[in-house]
Amino acid sequence: MGNGKIYVVGIGPGSEEDITPAVKKAVSIADAIVGYKYYFSFIQFLVKADAECVDTGMRKERDRAATAFDYAEQGKTVCVISSGDAGIYGMAPLIWEMKWERKSEVEIEVLPGISAFQKAASLLGAPIGHDFCVISLSDLLTPWEKIERRIQAVAIADFVTAVYNPKSDGRYWQLHRLKEIFLKERSAVTPVGYVRQAGREEQEVVVTTLADFDPEQIDMFTVVLIGNSQSYNYQDKIITPRGYYREMTHGDGGRGSKPGQEIMIRSFRTIASELKHPDIPLDRKWALLHTIHTTADFDMENIFYADEGAVETVYNALSGGKVKTIITDVTMAASGIRKGALERLGLKVKCYLSDERVAEMATRMNITRTQAGIRLAVEEYPDALYVFGNAPTALMELCLLMRRGKARPVGVVGAPVGFVNVRESKYMLKSFEDVPKIIIEGRKGGSNLAATIVNAILCFDDAEQLLPGRDL
């Protein structure tokens, strides 16, 4: 009797529509189907009536391969089935190894299938649009030390990463370790998606971020996909741009790019990866990243203060039309606020230093011109966003007027700089618990910092995707 043939096929993730025509044909003509019994239910409708279905049990891959050769060497057509693609953590390598070992004349044909990570990727949007890799966390055949080195390598190399065999009853900590390694090399807002039982009735699709990703929600039937530094979330999907729109957009949902935006994006992601304390609320982190980007000073982590939800609260008030005016203490702070953002949100910035009434008031009342400017501003715009990047006396004036109930600002940016009354002015501001405030503590500050904090507020809707620079 002549030798038969072994088809090594991938039956896809589990749904009929994901089985390729070539695989369907191979299964339908096979005299014997060899595989793990769980997978037979997905192809039973294709198996001819007199075909034998042989289950060798879980973790019996060598027995499975030997059985296939035994049948094929009797002249039979055999189909060895794997879920997904047979060449990806499937039976194809083992079948070819055994052919070499047995010096068998049996013909082998490998028929590709849709891999679980491909199916998961399609359900998650387009996360594998650029260079990617696939890693298995199973240490049954590969020592954990080697797996961890590979995890570190791909995290550093910025590959989109698909994770197979992420967790089991006996392997519960490895995925936690992977997350820990990735957080050292990737931004906390890196998109992460996972799909449980892809293509099957129990299918579940989740999109989150690296920081919020919970390994405890994962089981053995789940594929995890981690984006690269350019990946972003859009309409609850993950998109990893290839670069086709590099000259017009930056993977930013279709917005036109501006000169320098790509550099700013890369800078922000570098900063995010180097933060000592990355696990902070998104709105605070967004403004903090802006301050570090402006100063190249990581001491901002220690001196940047923001009330809980302050950035988001002020953004909602400004973008929602509740407040339409921003008041600055000096013209330099006003000039640093991006005009594109102001136009986009329909806002105006006012600085009263050049108002002809200021000089007269300052002389008459023996106060600084910035103090006088704030007094006039409060009379006309008591609920504005107030921004201080230079004059502590102006901030102290606003605090006094708030204390007297004359000023009700939607928020305050307190970043005056200097050596006299600077700390004190910030202490005063901090005492107003009902006013959203962002403060550069201590002596540091400046108009550039005040302006960049305002810019962070005005583009807070870009924070989740970590895409700064829209209004450059």
Catalytic residue IDs: 293
Cβ neighbours of residue 91 closer than 8 Å, sequence gap 6 or more: 8, 61, 64, 65, 80, 81, 82
| Structural contact between residues 189 and 232, judged by C-beta atoms closer than 8 angstroms | no
Bridge partners of residue 161, in order along the sequence: 133, 226
The CA distance from 214 to 231, in Å, is: 19
Which residue, among 385, 375, 393, has the nearest Cα to 325 in the 3D structure? 385
CA torsion 192-198-199-200 (nearest 10°) is: -140
SS3 314: helix
Bridge partners of residue 468, in order along the sequence: none
Bridge partners of residue 440, in order along the sequence: 304
Which residue, among 190, 175, 180, 250, has the nearest Cα to 226 in the 3D structure? 190
SS3 222: strand
The CA distance from 290 to 314, in Å, is: 16
Cβ neighbours of residue 153 closer than 8 Å, sequence gap 6 or more: none
The CA distance from 4 to 431, in Å, is: 84
Cβ neighbours of residue 405 closer than 8 Å, sequence gap 6 or more: none
The CA distance from 459 to 92, in Å, is: 51
SS3 234: strand
| Structural contact between residues 200 and 13, judged by C-beta atoms closer than 8 angstroms | yes
Strands 5-10 and 77-82: parallel
| Structural contact between residues 249 and 255, judged by C-beta atoms closer than 8 angstroms | yes
